[in-house]
Amino acid sequence: MKIFKQLFCALLVVGAVAARAKSCSQSYECGTQPFAHCYNMTAKHMLPGFGLDNGQHTINFINNLGAVDNRPDGASFFGRVSMDGGEFEVIEEIESDANVQNGQRVVQMYNYLESKHIPYVVNSKATAGNAGIGPYANHVFTQVWSVLSVYLGMAFDEKNNIMYSCDLDIRKYNKIPMTFEDRRDNTTMYTGQTCSGMSYYNGKLYFSANSAAGTSFYQADTTCVNCDKSKLSAIFNESSYIHGMTSSDTDIFYTSSTGIYQVSLANPSTKKQLSSDTKAGTIKYSEGFVYYQNDNQIISIEVATGKTKVLYDTATVARQNQCYCATGFSGDQCETCSGRIQWNNGIPKCYRENQPLFCVQDYECGNVPFTLCNYGTCSCRNNFYGAKCDQCDYHIIWENGIPVCEKNPTA
């Protein structure tokens, strides 16, 4: 059944790529103008960071594409490749790169919320810093955290809609934050503990922390409240600083300046080197494989055999121009828009009906009170989604005329 599921998902991805990412040399070859564009790949077009979507059997990440012809400077696209390898399939353009005020751009994919198919990204000002981290959903970036001088670790327990984080403390968020307001609903688990990596897998929370001697790995008790960090369970130490970490039921995997390593939780005194790739960064585990990213590639390693496979290589695709529809459009000629078309410098973009590019008041966003104006951009209220922002996977309760999509309502 697993093989059939993987084959079925792979066929879906390949079919979608063939229809949406044909090769081109000029934009007129891609469909009706100016609704379709021809973009080229640069050798360094892949942003750092990625996420796994096990349900769709894909690896999701962000590419910067440059435009051919006399088009603007190109764009960033959130998309995916099959876990078996293949071409990059565009899911959507990162509109905030072109439309957000004050010159901000997405510079990194920080995490991925598989249950909602939402990337968490780093959106950084082009000048003078002021970077933020948050979800990119419904064509809108929402800043939840500011980038501080310490690393922000993030790990999702999607089954229970819980998030764990570490910056100056280790915290547990009672629901996965989608807005700045959501981040207030948290409990401090361990005080005064920073980290350099964090991973949650099947009820177990692990993290790494830098020290003068290198990196130490710990397991945290997810039920702990305001505990001293001396209560943490130490697992093992590594003499170097790590680049990324992930975990399974039986092992911790990490990347460092000397390669990729596997450490058994049952016998942490021994470690196994899976790769000597010194450029390895983000690493994720799923169903017997680890997936990692270096400067130019996304690569899989079968843990049991050590067999590696290059799934995506920027050096290969950089030689190929690809066709993509303008933001929000679909169809063979890229003319289909399910909402409202807005034009900017001769370039069309398709938005949800009655939703403006920038807003001041909630009523400008359409289906009030399910929509709201959040820091100048329209978005759905927390946990709501859909064209009218009125769909909720949990229970809708009302508080002072405001709908709340809540997993475990008290009333």
Q: Which pLDDT value is given to residue 358?
A: 57
Distance between CA atoms of residues 70 and 255, nearest Å = 41
Q: Which pLDDT value is given to residue 236?
A: 96
Q: Which pLDDT value is given to residue 3?
A: 36
- State which residues of the chain have pLDDT below 70: 1-21, 41-44, 66-74, 95-104, 125-130, 318-320, 342, 344-345, 352-360, 364, 374-377, 387, 408-411
**Contact status, residue 169 vs residue 182, Cβ threshold 8 Å:** no
**Contact status, residue 169 vs residue 227, Cβ threshold 8 Å:** no
Q: Which pLDDT value is given to residue 16?
A: 30
Distance between CA atoms of residues 358 and 360, nearest Å = 7
Segments in 44-166 forming alpha helices (H): 95-99
Q: Which pLDDT value is given to residue 77?
A: 83
Q: Which pLDDT value is given to residue 91?
A: 80
Q: Where in the chain is the domain with CATH 2.120.10.30?
A: 2-321
Q: Which pLDDT value is given to residue 246?
A: 98
* Angle at CA of residue 194, ends 253 and 285, nearest 5°: 20
Q: Which pLDDT value is given to residue 19?
A: 32
* Angle at CA of residue 48, ends 44 and 50, nearest 5°: 120
Q: Which pLDDT value is given to residue 21?
A: 56
Residues ≥6 apart with Cβ < 8 Å to 409: 395, 397
Query: What is the CATH superfamily name and number for domain 2-321?
Result: TolB, C-terminal domain (2.120.10.30)
